[in-house]
Structure 1
């Protein structure tokens, strides 16, 4: 999880929020109003038949928002492909001031109506890398989830078709990544990509229309996601996983005296469960 400009932003899988590590840029230049971190994509559970791991993006305010502001608008992109709908935290959406917002899926514009979007599942899956050329352009955002936010100027009811049609921008996800597509951070230890899955709900109309305060800065949090092995290859000191194991320990039914053995035979053995912690490297 990342705390930036008053908000706690995290990518969450079934194992909880992804672990965060300091990012070492390839150059001394850093984009303005941007925080970049590495996050570790955990290995899939042993009982899973797939290496795909669903995830959500959670955002919560860490300090009360100023009473004189309309709010803040959040949107995100996966590997450079932007979700059509955003979410807002502000007085017009009272519950968000304490609970925050969650992107449970990726919004794709309905092909028959650009006032509607379909929310689809989001997954991490292992990258399939191939040599050889292709027609795809360079993509320096492969392996990166970006969350951007900016202060709002106005929140109003949706005015209908043509006022601000929904859209998805950027290169669409690909199943196979060719090495000549990689550039910038995506070329360093790419281990996973994101995938957009099936629909989570029916297409929905946009309820509100928001206008950003264009003179206000836009803030960006960049999650460069990699496997544990890939992070180590990049020189990142990753934390050791702590794995809990259930170890059965049979307690003595008595104190070794005849009366103890008699009590044990009468009431039976009792088992205790002891938690033992070990490091998974």
Structure 2
């Protein structure tokens, strides 16, 4: 007796890049759906930057000297680029905590058991966080306009430059999100991810030109601030917004802030995405 067996057709492997993009979009959609079902995640993420805008504008606005001026209006326009940069940067903490939570619940292990691209889980998560950061940035820009911030305070209003500034902000936020992803993969609990994230976020954001002119800092601290990737993006935004900047600096990132911001962000993504994906392959809950 002979047995007839049906030939099993094996689908040819697809394009790895296309598969990676598809898998990343699926994971991003999953995270966005989760965010939409927990609106307080977005609401609480908006409260902190709005508080910074109000407090720094009305508490410190008349006491800061920017470019030789103590005008509250000049400081307000100077400040907003720093607040925008701080907002996209601090989103890193929640990103790391979310990944650590997925690790703690065993979700990452389940994803690893699926035939998915290796970096898709983390890429999808960071893309979803980028969408949330975009929403936060739009709302914050509206609040800034309400408290008196204006683009083009130095007489040069160009919508293309304004959009480019926000693009640099989102690129910086996306780059730093990969640092958060690496931290989230390296710790065991969401609480540890949040705490360890803040350890580096505070020095990066405050040893910078976000809130004060580094020209008033001690020499060694000024050099740190001027070569800080965060400072480069804040200064690039001031240039593109045509708002008051800091005192004259000969540091390359301050002389070419737009290029410096692009280079810094791309390098951070290249380095920390590689490290995070490598950690994803070996990490255990």
TM range, smaller chain: under 0.3
TM-score normalised by length of structure 1: 0.23
More strand by share: 1
Indicate the structure whose relative CO is greater, using CA pairs within 8 Å and at least 6 residues apart: 2
TM-score normalised by length of structure 2: 0.23
More helix by share: 2
* Greater Rg over alpha carbons, structure: 1
